[in-house]
Amino acid sequence: MTAPSVFLVTDPRWSLERIEAVIEAAGRALAPGALGVQLRDKSAPLADLARTARALRAVTARVGARFVVNAPTSEALEGAAAAGADGAHVPCRPDRVAEARGRLGAAAWISTPAHSDEDVSIAAAAGATGVLVSPIFASPGKGPPRGVAALTAARARAPDLVVIALGGVDASSAAACAAAGADGVAIVRALLDAGDPTAMARALDAPFRDRRAPAAPL
């Protein structure tokens, strides 16, 4: 499966029904593997998170999208495995990357956040598949934007990592992210608030369509 160029990060402020509908629309609009979905809900009880994971695993499977669970704890990682997730997004620590790789397998997608250039180096050395570099543009509660130069720096430090731009990205800025070296963009509001998720997914994917790279070999 290719590395997703559009990664939808879920947010519990939107209903599960809305999230599922957006995944259906975006997934059917893009090539197989071009859409990724990361389940992120830091406050939900594990039982509720497990139910949501199963529901999103079903819809992502239908449209050929990669499904990843945000797993800040070992318990959440177990939930990802139980739901049949394709991978996990874990803290940028070698032990957490190793734990996720051991639990989910050599072919799993394992990503980490990268709020600094050093985080990129840590992720690469630990054997992560990719990094979500942020915040690229202004985003509520995420601190000062780092700009697209952070993507260029990440690409230079770790040529084999999948580099995903996160933070304030929308259809108007996706091309700048691609030009700076990103393999894709991670978004929340741009898709979940879109009046036409099909058109928005295509617009976000467009700068990456001709240069889509396979997921980094492990």
Angle, vertex CA 125, rays to CA 120 and CA 126, nearest 5: 100
Residue 204 included in any domain: yes
Using a CB cutoff of 8 Å and minimum separation of 24, what contacts does 152-158 make?
A: 152/180, 152/181, 153/117, 153/120, 154/114, 154/117, 154/120, 154/181, 155/180, 155/181, 155/182, 156/181, 157/117, 157/120, 157/121, 157/124, 158/120, 158/121, 158/123, 158/124, 158/131
Q: Please tell me whether the overall predicted TM-score, pTM, comes out greater than 0.85 for this model.
A: yes
Domain of residue 196, CATH code? 3.20.20.70
Residue 174 included in any domain: yes
Residues 218 and 215: their CA atoms lie apart, in Å, by 9
Residue 147 included in any domain: no
For position 2, what pLDDT does the model report?
A: 74
Mean pLDDT of 43-64: 95
Asked if pLDDT for residue 26 goes beyond 90, the answer is yes
Residues 205 and 6: their CA atoms lie apart, in Å, by 6
| Residue 64, domain extent | 6-110+166-211
Q: Work out how many domains the chain is built from and give that number.
A: 1
Residue 150 included in any domain: no
For position 218, what pLDDT does the model report?
A: 36
Residue 81 included in any domain: yes
Residues 111 and 90: their CA atoms lie apart, in Å, by 6
State the CB neighbour count (10 A cutoff) for residue 165.
Answer: 31
> Of 9-13, 128-132, 206-210, which range is least confident?
206-210
Residue 175 included in any domain: yes
For 142, the 3-state DSSP assignment is coil
Residue pair 130/161 in contact by the 8 Å Cβ criterion: yes
Residue 62 included in any domain: yes
Residues 90 and 113: their CA atoms lie apart, in Å, by 8
**95-119 pLDDT tens trace:** 999 999 999 999 999 999 999 999 9
